[in-house]
A and B are shown apart, each in its own frame.
Chain A
Amino acid sequence: MSRYLIRRLLQMIPLVVGLSVLIFLLLAAAPGDPVDLLVFGNPNIKPEDVARLKRLYGLDQPLYIRYFKWLWAALHGDLGYSQVYKVPVLTLMWDRVGNSLWLQIPAFFLSLAVAVPVGIYSALHQYSTADYIATFLTFFGVSIPAFWFGIMMIYLFAVWHPWTALPGLDWLRLPAGGFSTPGITRGLALYLDRLRYMLLPTIVLSLLFMASYTRYTRSSMLEVIRQDYVRTARAKGLAEQVVVTKHALKNAMIPIVTIVALSIPALFAGAPLTETVFGWPGVGRLLVEAVLAADFAVAQGIIIFLAALVIVFNLLADIAYALLDPRIRYD
């Protein structure tokens, strides 16, 4: 196992470097650089000023020199400066990853809390009315575009909110996007305020997670409850609850755990559409804005960070798999 781990860790190095070259080339291949975009639309800027700015930002140098300069700085923990936000990329990225986690973690746990019991119930009562309803809702969750659902939620809870005419329900009038109320910066008030802003995007995000986790749980459980050892447990006369929890569920959870582990990097990646619709300053929205504004350093930093996370969590999922399933061994 340890040799396997060392081999995998060593393999990660060329993989991350290769990815960084690929990402650098892809971003550089896009026509126009930040200076070109800056200059356009302003008829008063002279060609010599454009040349001076390109020299100043190092954009006049060959691509390979720019890459090696970036790589050298990155190895020293410097991913560059954001041209748009005027802060180091790392600082900006950590702030935004933190903001994204505010949404992603509650959405993740909420979806698990709903999806696993619903998936199990659905599998145990296959083709029942409850199963049909659960299946319909999961297909709804998988098929519905996040931005549309987000807008509908905003309309319902922030614009229309007919229930607020009823006494005591005014708190159900929620903010139509944003991160927090300006001026509230600390203490319990900040967390309560943040909670109100989180509610709608968390629901939208969790619906997306929920739908796919329910489907996985249901199909995994259906597969397990048809196994011989479950039939044997029932034949032994064990209580149905014991059969389900001790014999079926434990085994059905193996693929679920793997899928959940593999989706953890996505938590750090934020949710570009949901964050954009709700004006949430997360890392997903930052990535989209960085690409649109030709803020290369930021786009590159985020993509490489996410790529590295995917590689690491793939490795962790492989290890978890071996720990959960005694049939799997890495030599």
Chain B
Amino acid sequence: MRQWRWSSLLLALVVTFSTATLVGAAPARPATGPDTVVLFTQQEPSCLAPQPDSCQMFVAEVIRSLIFTDLVGMTNEWKYFPILAEKIPNLKDGDWKVLPGNKMQVTWRIKRGFTWHDGKPVTAQDWIWAWRVNMHPDFPTAGRDVAERVENIVAPNPYQMTVQWKKKYAFANLSAAGSGILPKHATERIFRQNPAKFDQAWGTGVPTIGNGPYVLREWQKGSSITVEAYPNWQGVPPHLPKERGVRRIVYRFISDTNTIIANILSGAADAFDETAVPFVQGLELETRLQRENRRDWVLRAEPGLIWEHIDMNLDNVHLRDKRVRHALIHAINREELVQQLFQGKQPVSHSFLPEKHYGYNRNVKKYTFDQARARQLLAEAGYTPGPDGILQKGGQRLSLRFTTTAGNRTREQVQQILQAQWRAVGVEVRIVNLPARAYFGDALPRRDFDLAMYAWVFSPTSDCEGLYTGDTIPTPEKREGQNYPGYKNDEVTRICHAVPEELDEGRRAAMLRRAQELWVEDLPVIPLYLRSDYTGHKAGLQNFLPTGSNTPITWNAPSWRWAR
């Protein structure tokens, strides 16, 4: 009898726990309520002011786009739309003019009725002020690439401003002066007290006065940020409606990926953005959810603008020869690599621009995996097998030092695969990795590598100026410029310098296509793949749309809503 009771109890527990496990999957309902979305992310922003460098981490941009808004926005399909501007200026309508001496002027008309969160109207003076702040010599920013092109901004009335440009600039109709917007009435006194410490004095907590659809309500440092719907928000349908589906958005900061995943699985998170779960863990999570047949979460891997590649140092005695560079790319199977490591969700790249970019050259030469061709090219270049199977020429072994950031599991896996494939054609590759700080702070600027694997972060308006222009090669004495391979092609240099000043998008795209054609033929860099970012949300949350660009997922937060 006693034995029967114990076994019954055990059975009951097993049944209860197994049922609990089956139904234990987090339901697709909101974690805290139908008017709230709770997001988890790894990083916490330092500050939310639009311009200082220290406030430029991506997660700051994610939260800033809830609190601030500007003249023009971009959709998930990379289409621009006016937010605070009545329309986007263009050459045809005459509100964007080219003046004698290669100068330009762009006239913006600003919508009325939009206010700062303290009720003061948003006027042209707020953009002018933001530009002046950005250009102040003591202001801690390096992001003046666009602002420096502006000569002056004049505002004949509070709802109109004319931006005078020193020279032609292709993207002059996407922002007033590349400096964002600042509430002049709330920041002028603080800024003038100490311009160098403005980023420490404003935008680091509540209240941070913005002009966007949400108000910063609470910032628990190290823990969370809460924003709530701004009641006087005018709305810009369809993406930024006046009536918001969710009235409160909570960002919680957890630096450990496993803990974020636990929160996703437990249902404490409603969604996560690009900064929360690295690709590999995202892939594992997606696989797990599929395996468990859970339909309460929707995960998406969106190829973005982070480009993984291998720079080849063109000062290296072997890599100087184009045939060796071509042999190296033919010797590796990039398609197989992305299939095996990333289930094909991080696509192979063939150029320095991503496929979504307006200037991408679809017909660019694509190097296929062909080890016979690689051997042939190396033989043509004068290499013969040495006693240990490694090729050599003039007594010098074809041995290359391959560097990347130590501790990056994905890059280290890629290195090992490539090392084996290169070994198969007689090229020795020695892996010498460095911690990220030493790598980016020292080794790359000194061009101390033969092969260097890392990533560049692009934007939809990026081009090749600075990266592949012959006059931006850093030297050991002068570590300036970011052309780390040391690539020099006069035509590419000329095109890359001219692109930012070409106003016609069609012609600009044609120029970029030509630059890619030359670059791919010269091949100073082995393009590897475009990194994808995982985002995810509970199945009941609608309109959660990643952009695959530097426009954060919060771009359309006012249209997020929970399905009834």
Say yes or no for B77: interface residue by CB 8 A criterion: no
Q: Determine which residue in A31, A36, A182 has the highest number of CB atoms from chain B within 10 A of its CB, and name it.
A: A182
Please report which residues of chain B, range 134-181, place their CB below 8 angstroms from some CB of chain A when the two chains form the complex: 137-138, 140-145
Q: Identify which of A92, A162, A276 contacts B21 (C-beta below 8 A).
A: A162
Q: Find out whether the CB atom of A47 lies under 8 angstroms from the CB atom of B21.
A: no
Q: Find out whether the CB atom of B20 lies under 8 angstroms from the CB atom of A49.
A: no
Q: Which residues of B contact A53 (CB under 8 A)?
A: 53, 140-142
Q: Find out whether the CB atom of B263 lies under 8 angstroms from the CB atom of A86.
A: no
Q: Find out whether the CB atom of B437 lies under 8 angstroms from the CB atom of A30.
A: yes
Q: Identify which of B196, B221, B263 contacts A281 (C-beta below 8 A).
A: B221
Say yes or no for A163: interface residue by CB 8 A criterion: yes
Q: Find out whether the CB atom of A179 lies under 8 angstroms from the CB atom of B259.
A: no
Say yes or no for A43: interface residue by CB 8 A criterion: yes
Q: Which residues of B contact A183 (CB under 8 A)?
A: 218, 226, 250
Q: Find out whether the CB atom of B23 lies under 8 angstroms from the CB atom of A165.
A: yes
How many interface contacts (CB-CB < 8 Å) are there between A and B?
180
A161 with B437, Cβ < 8 A, contacts A87-B200, A279-B254 known: no
With the chains together, A257 CA to B142 CA distance in Å? 55
Q: Which residues of B contact A294 (CB under 8 A)?
A: 437
The proximity string for B residues 1-32 relative to A, scoring 1 for CB distances below 8 Å and 0 otherwise, is 00000000000000011111101100000000
Say yes or no for A73: interface residue by CB 8 A criterion: no
Q: Find out whether the CB atom of B268 lies under 8 angstroms from the CB atom of A176.
A: yes
Q: Which residues of B contact A36 (CB under 8 A)?
A: 437, 440-441, 445
With the chains together, A155 CA to B141 CA distance in Å? 43
Q: Find out whether the CB atom of B220 lies under 8 angstroms from the CB atom of A176.
A: no
Q: Which residues of A contact B445 (CB under 8 A)?
A: 36
Q: Identify which of A151, A165, A177, A185 contacts B20 (C-beta below 8 A).
A: A165
Q: Which residues of B contact A162 (CB under 8 A)?
A: 16-18, 20-21, 24
Closest to B455 in A: A41
Q: Which residues of A contact B204 (CB under 8 A)?
A: 85-87
Q: Find out whether the CB atom of A43 lies under 8 angstroms from the CB atom of B482.
A: yes
With the chains together, A180 CA to B218 CA distance in Å? 13
With the chains together, A289 CA to B222 CA distance in Å? 11
A44 with B143, Cβ < 8 A, contacts A160-B24, A279-B254 known: yes
Q: Find out whether the CB atom of A38 lies under 8 angstroms from the CB atom of B442.
A: no
- The minimal Cβ–Cβ distance linking A330 to chain B, given in whole angstroms, is 42
Say yes or no for A126: interface residue by CB 8 A criterion: no
Q: Find out whether the CB atom of A49 lies under 8 angstroms from the CB atom of B255.
A: no
Q: Find out whether the CB atom of B46 lies under 8 angstroms from the CB atom of A85.
A: yes
The proximity string for A residues 37-60 relative to B, scoring 1 for CB distances below 8 Å and 0 otherwise, is 111111111110110110011000
Q: Find out whether the CB atom of B262 lies under 8 angstroms from the CB atom of A96.
A: no
Q: Find out whether the CB atom of A277 lies under 8 angstroms from the CB atom of B220.
A: no
Say yes or no for B253: interface residue by CB 8 A criterion: yes
Q: Find out whether the CB atom of B142 lies under 8 angstroms from the CB atom of A45.
A: yes
Say yes or no for A286: interface residue by CB 8 A criterion: yes
Q: Find out whether the CB atom of B222 lies under 8 angstroms from the CB atom of A43.
A: no
Say yes or no for A166: interface residue by CB 8 A criterion: yes
Q: Which residues of A contact B254 (CB under 8 A)?
A: 177-178, 279
Q: Which residues of A contact B223 (CB under 8 A)?
A: 178-180, 182, 279, 281
Closest to A38 in B: B53
Say yes or no for A81: interface residue by CB 8 A criterion: yes
A177 with B256, Cβ < 8 A, contacts A38-B53, A53-B142, A86-B200 known: yes
A interface residues, tally (CB under 8 Å): 64
Q: Identify which of A41, A81, A159, A277 contacts B200 (C-beta below 8 A).
A: A81
Say yes or no for B333: interface residue by CB 8 A criterion: no
Q: Which residues of B contact A99 (CB under 8 A)?
A: 222
Q: Which residues of B contact A86 (CB under 8 A)?
A: 46-47, 54, 199-200, 204
A182 with B226, Cβ < 8 A, contacts A158-B266, A159-B266, A165-B20 known: yes
Closest to A174 in B: B266
Q: Which residues of B contact A180 (CB under 8 A)?
A: 220, 223
With the chains together, A164 CA to B457 CA distance in Å? 45
Q: Find out whether the CB atom of A47 lies under 8 angstroms from the CB atom of B481.
A: yes
Say yes or no for A285: interface residue by CB 8 A criterion: yes
With the chains together, A162 CA to B499 CA distance in Å? 61
Please report which residues of chain B, range 431-484, place their CB below 8 angstroms from some CB of chain A when the two chains form the complex: 437-438, 440-442, 444-445, 455-457, 462, 466-467, 480-482
Say yes or no for B511: interface residue by CB 8 A criterion: no
With the chains together, A43 CA to B352 CA distance in Å? 13
- The minimal Cβ–Cβ distance linking A301 to chain B, given in whole angstroms, is 16
Q: Identify which of B46, B256, B481 contacts A276 (C-beta below 8 A).
A: B256
Please report which residues of chain A, range 299-323, place their CB below 8 angstroms from some CB of chain B when the two chains form the complex: none
20 extra interface residue pairs, beta carbon distance < 8 Å, beyond A32-B437, A162-B20: A32-B438, A37-B441, A38-B53, A43-B456, A46-B142, A50-B142, A52-B137, A85-B204, A86-B46, A92-B221, A162-B21, A178-B252, A179-B223, A180-B223, A182-B220, A182-B223, A182-B226, A277-B256, A279-B259, A294-B437
A to B CB contacts below 8 Å, 22 in the list: A31-B441, A33-B441, A37-B440, A41-B455, A46-B142, A47-B480, A52-B137, A81-B200, A84-B46, A160-B21, A162-B18, A165-B16, A176-B259, A176-B268, A177-B259, A178-B252, A179-B220, A183-B218, A276-B255, A279-B255, A279-B256, A281-B222
Chain B interface residues (CB < 8 Å from chain A): 16-21, 23-24, 38, 46-47, 53-54, 56, 137-138, 140-145, 196-197, 199-200, 204, 218, 220-224, 226, 250, 252-256, 258-259, 262-263, 265-266, 268, 437-438, 440-442, 444-445, 455-457, 462, 466-467, 480-482
Q: Please provide the 6 A-B residue pairs with the shortest distance between their CB atoms, ordered closest to farther.
A: A32-B441, A281-B222, A279-B254, A47-B480, A165-B20, A162-B17
